[in-house]
Amino acid sequence: MNCKTYLALPHVIAFTRWLASELESPELFKHQYVNRKTGVHWSCSSLYNAFEHYRWNHPGNARLDFAPGTSAFSNGMALAALGKDLVAAAGDDARSAEAASDVMRWGGVTAHNVDWLQTNKVGLASMLQTIVAALDAGDERASVLRSDQLRFNAGMTKVYSLLCKDFIIYDSRVAAGLGWLVVKYCHAHGLVKVPRDLCFPWAKAKEDKDALAPKRRNPGGDGFKFTGLRSGHHHAMWNLRASWLLSAVLKHPDAAGSRFQQVAAPNDPLRAMEAALFMIGYDLGQEAEAPYQEYSAEFAEKILAAARGNFVEVSADDLIAQLDDMLAKARVPG
């Protein structure tokens, strides 16, 4: 499927119109959670407010002359420098590997990715150019995107977002945020299941499998089901569709008055939308089924206290009773 065909699908048209008209909704996109690492309570009152509250603690880069930071502006400056470096490295394998590795460091996804870049350095520059050309052509059926050798994951999506035109970073957080929007669209239109063409796949957060308060990245529930994200062609295909869709939303006439249109450099409207979904998608747990909401804040605080080394004595009987109550409520059909 190509861009034109995808954007002409009925539910894609309807979603585009719906989100464009609701971008400035003061009620529809409220969200909140507790950051597991810092214990900070995060919230937003709208999609644009989620962008205003964007935070990503990125490292500095002496070679590219940008300092560490956390804000949308700081990250925008870092991404501008990283993107310029990637473009300048075109045709040079060693420079391309170095530039892409720096992107991985910015995004906190060096594990395996930097090793892969070094191992596959020979021919890397040509490979990047070929894949970028296919992505910019707007056809997910391109042979290079369907190759079993295609490396496309949470690391490479960051690289291609800096090399391609109107191409977002599609990682587990952005995927969660986008799926969250799709569920709201389904509710608004009385749908009982997710339309196939809006079934953006999700991925688990990177955390210990035994985490006491796992972050919820799956936007499904209450009959709405989303598939899991697979690396390679599957990731590239849905990354393209997400980019096409959000770009269409921002270009829709109903979105003309949105504050996203006023985003200044080094960011732009599409990057700001991506950032908003990234922040919302950190944890969708505050909107999980009701039985869990009653305990989420208290449990999160105890877990965060333990993570900081502030252990407190609790009654095992009380804890077991509370867990039993939660499980009993979770089993109630409805």
Q: How do the pLDDT tens digits run along the chain, 334 residues long?
A: 999 999 999 999 999 999 999 999 999 999 999 999 899 999 999 999 999 999 999 999 999 999 999 999 999 999 999 999 999 999 999 999 999 999 999 999 999 999 999 999 999 999 999 999 999 999 999 999 999 999 999 999 999 999 999 999 999 999 999 999 999 999 999 999 999 999 999 999 988 777 788 899 999 988 899 999 999 999 999 999 999 999 999 999 999 999 999 999 999 999 999 999 999 999 998 554 333 333 344 454 555 555 556 555 554 444 444 454 454 444 444 3
Q: Compute how many other C-beta atoms are within 10 angstroms of the C-beta atom of residue 165.
A: 11
- Helix 156-163 and helix 93-107, axial crossing angle in degrees, nearest 10: 110
Q: Phi then psi for 67, rounded to 5 degrees?
A: -90, 165
pLDDT at residue number 212 = 80
Q: What is the pTM of this model?
A: 0.85
Q: Give the Cα separation of 53 and 72 in Å (integer).
A: 8
pLDDT at residue 210, as a whole number: 73
Look at residue 332 in the predicted model and tell me its pLDDT.
40
Inter-residue contact 219 to 225 (CB < 8 Å): no
| pLDDT for 305 | 58
CA distance 79 to 87: 12
pLDDT at 102: 98
Answer yes or no: are the C-beta atoms of 249 and 20 closer than 8 Å: yes
Q: Which pLDDT score is estimated for 329?
A: 45
Q: DSSP letter string over 101-126? A: HHHHHHHT--TTHHHHHHHT-TTHHH
- pLDDT value, residue 138: 94
**Alpha-carbon span 155 to 171, nearest angstrom:** 8
